[in-house]
């Protein structure tokens, strides 16, 4: 075997312990790839050499089978012919976006893990609102679905190409596992979080044996379904080898896959340099306001945030001395500065915190004067997932949150999950309020894990013969989520 190239310590860190490929040469094309890690705190997890090996293998296979290769052209032609190719060499999973950016990042990372486990190549359908949002993650090839790919719109749970529906309608049968050329040309896998359950037959082993036989799979999901892959015995050994620490899955795959494009990165970098870099400490506060369980009145929500920061010493207390703080008027390192990054669609949470610390002096728990500077990068008011500029701001803010020392996030929010998980930070999660009392028992809780929560559960029928048992009882690396008690989290 060839001797491994000698890498310096610096190179090792730059490549995130080997997560990133050394084969990207145009740094200007994607500034975030190597710059983001200079702003993160040191990762609490080491990268398994086996994961590194599997990533390099994946990249080689993606180059072999990816767009603009003869193998891809052959596969695309076979798709047109309307027949599945039994014993196919290159197999693909086409990812379709669903919901907001946080949901998309969680489902794309899950799809990538699924591809790693099943030897598929991931191709990403990039609608105009995602153009240039992320850099290419694999060297010398592209993960973008070629624009002439025919099956990328209009899928939903009721689509006739959906696996579950094909099974129900006898279009596919389990006995076809031995006769793959009898299968349709592609299968659509719909993994949507609806009322805490994925559809049945989406995470059962016999179904995956059959799904594996399709050369082409089209997948859409709003969920962090990576967790469900750990429930399937067939994948367990590989997953154990890739992730000796189960709580590192999104943290590592997210850092590997997602590199903001230069526009979003420009915003994040300018904001960091201008507002956050000079502070002694940085606290991120993500306030997700909006639909469903997140639609609480401002006074209730802001009281909960203040309770959380007070009870856990996350923000300096007001001294009620409105006169000038001690130390030099020019600051000049004589006073500690705590920066608070408020990230929200609405401006009022920023206004409240900013007003408090603008009008009052503050002190740390030891009585030392602290200047608290409060900033908010943008407040778009409403979610506008179909706008590219809006998504770029959202991505910049996810990364800015991930550069903080501590974060307070809103429960249920995939936007918040991505930020703290990329950072490798256990967040302070604002617990969902009780609508009848308009108050939460605890203002916030701190989960054991940095992992995102999978809100939706698969049916466990298939892996525990006929019994619908709680997997947390059987698998030591799983827990229920603090913010979504029915959900599942790796740790
Ligand atoms: P979730 O709905 O909280 O699970 O997160 P998603 O990211 O899936 O969807 C929410 C979307 O709303 C984001 O992707 C943004 O487009 C927008 N959004 C929500 N909160 C913020 C925020 O604090 N800042 C910005 N810039 N956009 C936000």
Residues 346-370 pLDDT 10s: 999 999 999 999 999 999 988 888 9
Give the per-residue pLDDT at 225: 97
Residue range(s) defining the domain that contains residue 244: 9-257
Residue 273 placed within a domain: no
Give the per-residue pLDDT at 292: 60
Give the per-residue pLDDT at 163: 96
Total number of domains in the chain: 2
Distance CA 286, CA 289 (A): 9
Are 246 and 148 contained in the same domain? yes
Are 287 and 199 contained in the same domain? no
Q: What spacing in Å lies between the alpha carbon of 289 and ligand 1's midpoint? A: 9
Are 36 and 170 contained in the same domain? yes
Q: What spacing in Å lies between the alpha carbon of 230 and ligand 1's midpoint? A: 27
Residue 47 placed within a domain: yes
Residue 312: burial class (beta carbons within 10 Å; 0-12, 13-18, 19+): middle
Give the per-residue pLDDT at 316: 96
Q: What are the tens digits of pLDDT across the range 85-141?
A: 877 799 999 999 999 999 999 999 999 999 999 999 999 999 999 999 999 999 999
Distance CA 476, CA 490 (A): 9
Q: What are the tens digits of pLDDT across the range 287-337?
A: 998 766 567 789 989 999 999 999 999 999 999 776 766 666 666 567 899
Q: What spacing in Å lies between the alpha carbon of 23 and ligand 1's midpoint? A: 33
What number of CA atoms fall less than 13 Å from residue 235's CA on the CB side? 25
> Whose CA is closest to atom 11 on ligand 1?
100
Q: Which of 460, 451, 457, 413 is nearest to 432 (CA)?
A: 413
- 3-class state of residue 195 by DSSP: coil
Give the per-residue pLDDT at 331: 60
Of 223, 257, 291, the position where a domain reaches its end is: 257
Q: What spacing in Å lies between the alpha carbon of 13 and ligand 1's midpoint? A: 30
pLDDT at 421 over 80: yes
Give the per-residue pLDDT at 470: 83
Contact 314, 408 (CB under 8 A): yes
Are 304 and 242 contained in the same domain? no
Residue 146 placed within a domain: yes
Pocket test of ligand 1: the residue of 295, 415, 416, 455 to mutate, having most ligand atoms within 8 Å of its CB, is 415
Are 284 and 253 contained in the same domain? no
pLDDT at 1 over 50: no
Residue 464 placed within a domain: no
pLDDT at 75 over 50: yes
Give the per-residue pLDDT at 291: 67
Residue 144 neighbours by CB under 8 Å, 6+ apart: 67, 123, 124, 126, 136
Q: How confident is the model at residue 464 (pLDDT cuts 50, 70, 90)?
A: low
pLDDT at 168 over 50: yes
Are 422 and 344 contained in the same domain? yes
Residue 481 placed within a domain: no
CATH for 352: 3.40.50
pLDDT at 437 over 80: no
Distance CA 12, CA 256 (A): 14
How many C-beta neighbours within 10 Å does residue 367 have?
Answer: 8
Q: What are the tens digits of pLDDT across the range 240-292?
A: 999 999 999 999 999 999 999 999 999 999 999 999 999 999 999 999 987 66
Show the ligand 1 pocket: residues with CB < 6 angstroms. 99-103, 288, 343-345, 378, 380, 383, 385, 390-391, 393-394, 397, 413-415
Give the lowest-confidence range in 51-65, 246-260, 286-300, 425-439. Answer: 286-300
Are 357 and 245 contained in the same domain? no
> Whose CA is closest to atom 9 on ligand 1?
100
pLDDT at 5 over 90: no
- In this prediction, residues 222-246 reach a mean pLDDT of 96
Residue 178 placed within a domain: yes
Residue 459 placed within a domain: no
Share of the chain above pLDDT 70, in %: 92
CA 98 to chain centre: 13
- Ligand 1 atom with minimal separation from the 410 CA: 3
- In this prediction, residues 29-55 reach a mean pLDDT of 96
Pocket test of ligand 1: the residue of 294, 394, 398, 399 to mutate, having most ligand atoms within 8 Å of its CB, is 394
Are 24 and 117 contained in the same domain? yes
* ipTM attached to this prediction: 0.99
Give the per-residue pLDDT at 334: 72
Residue 159: burial class (beta carbons within 10 Å; 0-12, 13-18, 19+): middle
Pocket test of ligand 1: the residue of 100, 220, 222, 401 to mutate, having most ligand atoms within 8 Å of its CB, is 100
- In this prediction, residues 383-396 reach a mean pLDDT of 96
Give the per-residue pLDDT at 467: 62
Are 376 and 287 contained in the same domain? yes
Are 343 and 445 contained in the same domain? yes
Q: Average model confidence (pLDDT) for the chain?
A: 92
Are 209 and 316 contained in the same domain? no
Q: What spacing in Å lies between the alpha carbon of 184 and ligand 1's midpoint? A: 37
Q: What spacing in Å lies between the alpha carbon of 100 and ligand 1's midpoint? A: 6
Residue 366 placed within a domain: yes
Distance CA 479, CA 425 (A): 17
Q: What spacing in Å lies between the alpha carbon of 398 and ligand 1's midpoint? A: 9
Give the per-residue pLDDT at 227: 97
Are 235 and 284 contained in the same domain? no
Please tell me which residue, 412 or 465, carries the higher pLDDT value: 412
């Amino acid at each position: 075997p060839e001797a491994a190239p000698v890498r310096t310590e610096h190179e090792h860190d730059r490549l995130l312990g080997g997560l990133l490929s050394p084969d990207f040469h145009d740094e200007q094309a994607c500034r975030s790839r190597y710059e983001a890690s200079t702003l993160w705190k040191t990762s609490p997890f080491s990268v398994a050499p086996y994961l590194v090996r599997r990533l390099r293998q994946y990249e080689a296979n993606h180059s072999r089978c990816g767009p603009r290769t003869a193998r891809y052209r052959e596969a695309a032609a076979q798709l047109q012919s309307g027949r599945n190719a039994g014993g196919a060499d290159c197999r693909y999973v086409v990812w379709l976006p669903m919901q907001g950016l946080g949901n998309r990042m969680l489902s794309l990372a899950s799809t990538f893990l699924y591809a790693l486990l099943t030897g598929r190549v991931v191709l990403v359908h990039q609608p105009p609102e995602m153009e240039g949002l992320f850099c290419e993650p694999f060297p010398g090839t592209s993960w973008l679905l070629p624009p002439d790919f025919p099956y990328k719109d209009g899928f939903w749970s009721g689509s006739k190409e959906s696996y579950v529906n094909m099974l129900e309608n006898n279009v596919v049968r389990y006995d076809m596992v031995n006769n793959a050329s009898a299968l349709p040309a592609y299968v659509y896998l719909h993994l949507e979080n609806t009322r805490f359950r994925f559809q049945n037959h989406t995470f059962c082993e016999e179904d995956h044996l059959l799904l594996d036989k399709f050369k082409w799979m089209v997948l859409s999901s709003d969920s962090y379904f990576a967790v469900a892959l750990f429930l399937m015995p067939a994948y367990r050994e590989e997953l154990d080898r890739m992730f000796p620490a189960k709580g590192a899955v999104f943290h590592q795959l997210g850092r590997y896959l997602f590199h903001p494009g230069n526009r979003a990165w420009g915003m994040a970098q300018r904001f960091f340099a201008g507002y956050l870099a000079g502070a002694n400490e940085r606290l991120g506060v993500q306030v997700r306001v909006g639909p469903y369980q997140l639609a609480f009145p401002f006074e209730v929500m802001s009281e909960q945030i203040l309770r959380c920061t007070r009870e856990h010493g996350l923000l300096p207390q007001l001294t009620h001395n409105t006169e000038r703080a001690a130390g030099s008027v020019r600051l000049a390192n004589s006073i500690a500065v705590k920066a608070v990054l408020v990230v929200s669609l609405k401006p009022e949470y920023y206004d409240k915190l900013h007003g408090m610390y603008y009008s009052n002096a503050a002190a740390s728990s030891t009585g030392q004067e602290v200047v608290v500077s409060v900033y908010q990068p943008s407040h778009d008011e409403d979610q506008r997932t179909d706008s590219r500029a809006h998504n770029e701001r959202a991505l910049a803010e996810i990364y800015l949150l991930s550069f903080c020392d501590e974060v307070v996030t809103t429960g249920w929010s995939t936007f918040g999950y991505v930020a703290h998980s990329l950072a490798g930070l256990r967040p302070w999660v604002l617990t969902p309020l009780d609508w009848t009392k308009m108050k939460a028992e605890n203002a916030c809780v701190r989960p054991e894990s940095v992992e995102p929560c999978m809100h939706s559960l698969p049916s466990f029928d298939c892996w525990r013969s006929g019994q619908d048992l709680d997997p947390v009882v059987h698998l030591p690396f799983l827990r229920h989520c603090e913010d979504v008690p029915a959900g599942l989290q790796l740790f």
